[in-house]
Structures are given as C-alpha cells and as structure tokens.
Amino acid sequence: MRRHTTLIVGAAITAAICTLSAGFVLAATSEPTGEQIDSAPCTAALTAADDDKIIASCGALIGNDKAPKADRVKAAIARAAAYDRKGEIERAIGDDDIALRLDATQADVFNARGELLRRKGDRVHALSDFGTAVKLDPNHVGARANYKLLSLEVERIGAMMAVNNKPSFNCAAARRPVEKAICANPELANLDREINAVNTKVVRQAGQSDPRTGRAMQREQDDFLARRTAEFGRSDFDLQKMMRDRLDHLLALVGRF
C-alpha cells in the first residue's frame, strides 16, 4: 500500500508543478485587488521535491484564499505527501482535509487519506474514504483494492469480536461444573475456543494422510476433555495451566502431518 501511495504522491506532485506554474502566473495578473501572490518558494520546493521546503514554503499559498483554488488544492496535496514521508500522519491527514474542503471531487485524495487513516487505526473512516473514492471514480484501481481488502479485514475483526470471550460450547446448555467455570472466566473461555479450533485443524491434517491417525488425535482430545471434567475441583488442580499446556501441545503438532 505504501508503494501505491508513493505513486499517487509522485503523480500529484508532478501535476502540481505544471499546474501551479501556470496558475501562479494567472493569479498574479488577474486578481482585481492587486495583491501579489508569492508562489516562487513553493514552486521551487515542488520542483526540487524537497520535503522540508515544501512544508515551509507552501503554507502561504495553501492559506491564501485569493490564490486559485486548484493551485491551493495541489499545494495541499504536495504538503500532505511531504508530511506523510516524514511520518507525521496527523498533519498529512490535515492537509488532505484542506484539499477536500476546497475540492471534494478528488478521488485520489480520498484514497490517500483513507490509507493514512487505516495506518492510524481508524478503519471506519478509512473504509468510508475508500468507498467515496470508488464512487467518484469507479475505475480507481487502488481505491477498489483498498476498499475490498479493508472490508474483509473489518468483517474478520467483527467475526472475532462476535466470539470473543466465548468458549467452543454453548454456555446456556452448560451443566458440568468445569464448563460453568469456563463460561464465567473470559480467559478460560478464549482458551477453550482456541483449543477446539487448533484441535480441529490437527485432526483434519492428520486424517488427510492417515485416517487412523486422525481418529487417534480426536481420541486424545476426548481424553483431555474427560480428564478436565474429572479432575476439576481437586485442591491441586490448575484448570488454566492444564488448558494452556493442551493448547501448546496442539500448536506444536500443527503442520506435522
């Protein structure tokens, strides 16, 4: 994604240099108030691709409401890219905000801001930006890919949250004391679900190469559950340790068959 952002930034800066140069001349000759816009420092910084100078020099143009809107948008995009390359995500987002306030039809900027928001951890707003970019430009390859990948990620996280702190069995039907204890403890509930998931994977892997081995792995799991039920309640019994040891054992078996 970083490479994709870099390509967008490079194209934006190149376009900015060409359009800004022409726009600055127009602004200097068409303003009825006669106020001169000093665009030379920003133009030079863009031409040199000097991030420090872009940040230092383009602010005056971005904030000048008498400058042509298109020039201010391109300067804001360029400064956002410079901030991004310096790792200043909040400031980069701020400049993309400015660009979109000035021109809300910029699919590239929505996509670029979405990538920044995703890196920041704001998946909800990132997904919204990617979606807006696709609506503005249905053929925007980067935005379409970003939207699809982030949608799948959000869906996966939602599925994980739906089962978080829940064991592999239905707590409403739990009758055994050990099952009730697991249901009452989120950490034990998560351990139980992980054990069940990894055991299912181990049994499937073993059964693909040798059905008898797969059945043997399942019997081992059944024995573990029986011992867990029988030993629960003893004064020297550590349920969490027993479950953790079982999970570690199963994890070590993954991929062996």
pLDDT digits (tens, 9 = 90+) for 118-144: 999 999 999 999 999 999 999 999 999
| Residues sharing a CB contact under 8 Å with residue 213, sequence separation 6 or more, in sequence order | 206, 207, 257
Closest of 160, 161, 180, 158 to residue 169, by C-alpha = 180
* Stretches in the chain below the pLDDT threshold 50: 1-34
CATH 1.25.40.10 domain range(s) in the chain: 2-160
Q: What is the per-residue pLDDT for 30? A: 36
pTM of the entire structure? 0.58
Distance between first and last Cα of the chain: 36
Q: Report whether 20 contacts 71 (CB < 8 A).
A: yes
Closest of 131, 125, 164, 123 to residue 147, by C-alpha = 131
Q: What is the per-residue pLDDT for 18? A: 45
Q: Report whether 206 contacts 212 (CB < 8 A).
A: no
Looking at CATH, the fold of the domain delimited by 2-160 is given as 1.25.40
